[in-house]
Structure 1
């Protein structure tokens, strides 16, 4: 059995797990708070220390050995050098951290690092809902909207590691300015906070809005229909440009609203996309809560 060490580094928690390279099964996992306020060097050191505690567990599987390390983390990451080239204040001092070399020095194993959403795309492509497709686009809809392009089974990176960012696709150029520096981008209209803002009740949570919609509330249904249409417009544009075999959607927004959004997105895709791609499947991600760990581990492949 070949085992991969997956490391998921986020703004609130660090998770490390042992993953069966053949099946994607998580054999063992542990997590600790990130303590991001202590700075990027401290976060990296905590991740390595947790990995040192998890790694010996691989000895419990007869004939098993850890063959590589994959690190999925927040921020823009150079996938060749494994260096964080840009990050938000969710992880203060994270920019400049050398993830690949730090883990290779600590464990004498090959290590690979990439953005956490890219890692999710790789995991779903290899082990999850996208495993039957060689060409797909992954979108993660949550607090923001991230994404990744998988072509012939491999991630596509721009020359500066900044390509394949569907969340920044512009839908409405005359919209008010948005936090990420664009106007009217997909994220501005389909992220979790954007959906609640569109509904107009700042006291409501996502699950409460979903419950209203499932109960037949006309305002909630209209809100989600509008969001689903905007999502479909974005998918149609991506389909016309890339022609993927499938779209794969995950994240808290999809987990919470599901078909309340996706039915409208499929209709919009069919209406707007070119004939060859208008019936591109829109699938839900399938790896569940372990997806970040499995995806991180899959980077090592």
Structure 2
């Protein structure tokens, strides 16, 4: 019988998980809405239910990996800090709770680290010794992997590129700082730029107009691409990765703006920067979480 691992991706909106073998083949899936109104107890219960549904498939399971939003102590499997998107989640001893419930080894990582691990295993970064990942979604996340393992830092906060200050004294951020990259590069930020330029527009419509050659849309999108260029330049300066992988919802439309961005990046940065679009989409977090527990159990 093949041996499988459970990889789960837990965010403020939904929980999704899959039964995954050593080749990265998904045998079964399970998902649920994240019951944030029920607090930590409800979120944990929903996660357990999703995992239990996969275990009911009857496969031999070697362990459980979870990528969770928040600042994670991966060595201890503890959520050190989570925002109000996951109320009460700060302090959750998640690995311990899952092992107690299912009698299986469990590993917990930050969700961006898990997604990057997935891209490093089967996606855009496969075969790279070191790489950074920048995710452009509702917020902006990031990760840095070296020799296949996420670099977490002393407080579990390494790779928080979205909260590096891009514009000192700039727009207020929900982290308490001002001018964070997240306020300029997220999908929400792109929609804000669209609405500022054209009443009633969102980011999707702005990109569609840009692709159609709309001159005023081009100005708003090019300003966004300039900010993205500076953020990636800074990542390259800090870490010198072999590549920077761009993921998240905004990146899914990369065919519209990638070529234009490459020209602007080359013009704005003197560094040699290899950038690649992510390949795994919404499956990256589940695959990466499964890979992390595989590596821990096999290593």
By the TM > 0.5 criterion, same fold?
yes
Q: Which residue in the other structure is 1:138 paired with?
A: 133
TM-score when scaled to structure 1? 0.91
Separation in 2 of the partners of 1:280 and 1:58?
Answer: 46
Separation in 2 of the partners of 1:259 and 1:279?
Answer: 22
Separation in 2 of the partners of 1:262 and 1:228?
Answer: 9
* Cα distance per residue 1:41-75 (max 9 Å; x no partner): 1211221122112113253xxxxx32121001111
CA RMSD of aligned residues (A): 1.7
Query: Where do residues 268-287 of structure 1 align in structure 2 (5 Å cutoff)?
Result: 268-274=264-270, 278-287=271-280
- Answer whether contact 1:4 1:297 (CA < 8 A) is retained: yes
Q: Which residue in the other structure is 2:65 paired with?
A: 70
Separation in 2 of the partners of 1:92 and 1:133?
Answer: 36
Q: Which residue in the other structure is 1:250 paired with?
A: 247
Q: Which residue in the other structure is 1:294 paired with?
A: 287
Determine helix, strand or coil for the equivalent of 1:96. coil
Separation in 1 of the partners of 2:255 and 2:53?
Answer: 41
- Answer whether contact 1:196 1:202 (CA < 8 A) is retained: no
Flag the 1:252–1:202 CA change in 2: closer, same or farther, 3 A: farther
Determine helix, strand or coil for the equivalent of 1:39. helix
Q: Which residue in the other structure is 1:62 paired with?
A: none
Q: Which residue in the other structure is 1:196 paired with?
A: 191
Q: Is residue 2:163 matched to residue 1:168?
A: yes
Separation in 1 of the partners of 2:101 and 2:239?
Answer: 40
Q: Which residue in the other structure is 2:202 paired with?
A: 205
Q: Which residue in the other structure is 1:266 paired with?
A: 262
Separation in 2 of the partners of 1:184 and 1:95?
Answer: 25
**How many equivalent pairs are there?**
291
Q: Which residue in the other structure is 2:79 paired with?
A: 84
Determine helix, strand or coil for the equivalent of 2:56. helix
* Ranges in structure 1 where 5+ consecutive residues have no aligned partner: 60-64
Q: Which residue in the other structure is 2:51 paired with?
A: 51
Separation in 2 of the partners of 1:145 and 1:87?
Answer: 15
Separation in 2 of the partners of 1:251 and 1:58?
Answer: 33
Q: Which residue in the other structure is 1:10 paired with?
A: 11
Separation in 1 of the partners of 2:140 and 2:281?
Answer: 18
TM-score when scaled to structure 2? 0.91
Flag the 1:206–1:25 CA change in 2: closer, same or farther, 3 A: farther
Separation in 1 of the partners of 2:181 and 2:220?
Answer: 16
Separation in 1 of the partners of 2:199 and 2:125?
Answer: 35
* Ranges in structure 2 where 5+ consecutive residues have no aligned partner: none
Q: Which residue in the other structure is 1:230 paired with?
A: 227
